[in-house]
Structure 1
Amino acid sequence: MGKSRADIVMVLPDAVAGIEIKSDADTYVRLKRQVRDYNRYYDTNLVVVGSTHALHIADHVPAWWGILTAEKAGSTVDFYTLREPAPNPKVDIKRKLSILWRPELAHIQELNKMPKYREKSKAFVIDKILLKVPKETLTLQISEELFQRDYTSIEETITEYKKKKKHLCSYDL
């Protein structure tokens, strides 16, 4: 995700949300870059802050970002909503598609009855998907792919995809 890493990515049926956590010990040094990067990839964004940041965090994040505070209350933590998140007007569907692994993109192509483009780059495939599939449909399909993803098998999934791709391409000659 650019030069930033999301603290938490929450996949919802119709959206992907980025969540940034700033503890009381954190500073705002990287926040400007993080906001820029989160805005490119996520449909909604939230920042969760400790009580010392609660008064000033709104000055550092866009108006559409949600703001939650976290305060220690004995042996538990209480959360308070300072501002509800709104839809992110800057999300870039092309960047959001780039989060998907190649086999997931191939599944979206299949769902939308598109050619396979086996020997083309990931960027080429993403551009073709963007030309064919409406943004509203893609948003739902991206969430579904992320719901179905087995994060424990990334290496195996990609190796299997490459073998299958190579095997199928040899018949195309």
Structure 2
Amino acid sequence: MLYDKDIREPLFDFLEERFGKIRIIEEKRMGRSRADILMVLEGAVMGLEIKSDADTYVRLSRQVRDYDRYCDGNYVVAGSTHGLHIGEHVPEWWGIITVEAAAEGPDFYVLREAGRNPNLDLKRKLGLLWRPELVHIQELNKLPGYKEKSKKFVVEKILEKVPADLLAVQISEELFERDYTAIEETIRAYREGKGKKVRKKRVKT
């Protein structure tokens, strides 16, 4: 039996070998769900939900809805106990990667490639970015600063002014360049630029 902890690191190696340039973001809150993995590609963000042999389908329908709101495409990574039936529990546009225990470690097989997600909400996907990252996208596209406006307002303006195909590339680039070790400094610099008092707090990814 394979557990989540047995699957993750070998899965990252498999994804890198298959997709080339990627960045992995783990345990990202999206709506009411916490995505196991966001895989950043050039021009796309893919979600991966792990269903190990120890997992059930209890939360999967809700997770599918949340992943579909934020990601360009999605995969479910299913342990061997789910292999025969997992396709009944995810939409036809979801890809399926099966994983089985082997002597040399977990063995991965792409049972079905992910298709284009028809339910992507670009507003929610853009909302994955931190405010300083949105500022950089505004600068790249020569948009006003909107420094006193809310993040929601800025997101809507970016969506209004920037073509979707270009924006997809820019979102990926921001996520590729994200530096989690510098998050407090980055946000502090942004807030000080707005003339606001900085409060120290724990930042969740």
| TM-score exceeds 0.5 | yes
Gaps of 5+ in 1: 168-173
Distance 2:57 2:51 in 1: 8
2:142 aligns to what? 113
Which of the residues 3, 14, 27 maps onto 2:56?
27
1:138 to 151, 167, 173: 167
Letter in 2 for 1:150: D
Aligned structure 1 segments of 4 or more residues deviating by more than 4 angstroms: none
One-letter amino acid of the structure 2 residue matched with residue 131 of structure 1: E
Whether 1:51 aligns to 2:65 is no
Q: How many residues are aligned here?
A: 167
**Distance apart, 1:12 and its partner CA:** 0.4
For the residues of structure 1 that align with 2:144 and 2:113, how far apart are their CA atoms?
41
Structure-to-structure mapping, 1:1-173, within 5 angstroms: 1-166=30-195
Displacement of 1:159 in angstroms is 1.0
- TM-score, L = length of structure 1: 0.94
Report the TM-score when normalising by structure 2.
0.80
Distance 1:75 1:129 in 2: 48
Greater CA drift, 155-164 or 104-113: 155-164
By how many angstroms is 1:74 displaced?
1.5
Task: Write the distance in 1 (CA, Å) between the matches of 2:43 and 2:155.
Answer: 19
- Alpha-carbon deviation of 1:75? 3.8
Identity between Structure 1 and Structure 2 (%) = 68
The Cα of 1:114 is off from its aligned counterpart by 0.5
Tell me how large the CA RMSD over aligned residues is. Answer: 1.0
Letter in 1 for 2:44: A
Quick one: distance in 1 between partners of 2:154 and 2:106? 45
Displacement after TM superposition at 1:71 (Å) = 0.4
Per-residue deviation, residues 108-134 of structure 1 (Å, max 9, x unmatched): 100111000000000000011111011
5+ residue gaps, structure 2, are 1-29, 197-205
